């Protein structure tokens, strides 16, 4: 069966510090991978999605970046965090090559920028 792991689960970072959130998927090949952000009490904002290694589509211009160094690994990064980067970050995957398929989410990472 497929599983998705995301870490760290929570982190508190000072403004201006770097960020790295990592996500891995097991039990499937060539998945579509996604990073979403959810501010407190708000909806799910799509940040990045990837249909293959090295292929990243950015949806919102900001100080975040994403990378996919391996087929089932998706990393969200920032060189300098802003207060507005605080939120709940969710990694997700869906079956590759099949648009409109079910999305499976990781447990999420709570980021507080102070």
Partner 1 sequence: GQQVMQIPQYQHVQEGEDFTTYCNSSTTLSNIQWYKQRPGGHPVFLIQLVKSGEVKKQKRLTFQFGEAKKNSSLHITATQTTDVGTYFCNYGGATNKLIFGTGTLLAVQP
Alpha-carbon distance values, 7 to 10, 19, 84, 99 (Å): 8, 12, 20, 26
Residues 6+ apart with CB under 8 A from 99: none
Q: How many CA atoms lie within 13 A of 5 on its CB side?
A: 7
Place of tokens 């689960």: 9
Closest CB to partner 1 among residues 19, 90: 90
Min separation Cβ 49 and partner 1, Å: 6
Closest CB to partner 1 among residues 18, 97: 97
Min separation Cβ 65 and partner 1, Å: 18
Binding site for partner 1 (CB under 8 A): 32, 34, 36, 41-44, 46, 49, 51, 57, 59, 90, 94, 99-100, 102-108
In this structure, the strands spanning 64-70 and 73-78 are antiparallel
Closest CB to partner 1 among residues 44, 53: 44
Min separation Cβ 75 and partner 1, Å: 19
């Amino acid at each position: 069966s497929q599983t998705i792991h995301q870490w760290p689960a929570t982190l508190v970072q000072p403004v201006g510090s770097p960020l790295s959130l990592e996500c891995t998927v097991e039990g499937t090949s060539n998945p579509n991978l996604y990073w979403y952000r959810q501010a407190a009490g708000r909806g799910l904002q799509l940040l990045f999605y990837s249909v293959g290694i090295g292929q990243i589509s950015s949806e919102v211009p900001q100080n975040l970046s994403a990378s996919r160094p391996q087929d089932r690994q998706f990393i969200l990064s920032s060189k300098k965090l802003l207060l507005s980067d605080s939120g709940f970050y969710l990694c997700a995957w869906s079956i590759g090559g099949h648009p409109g398929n079910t999305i499976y989410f990781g447990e999420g990472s709570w980021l507080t920028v102070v």
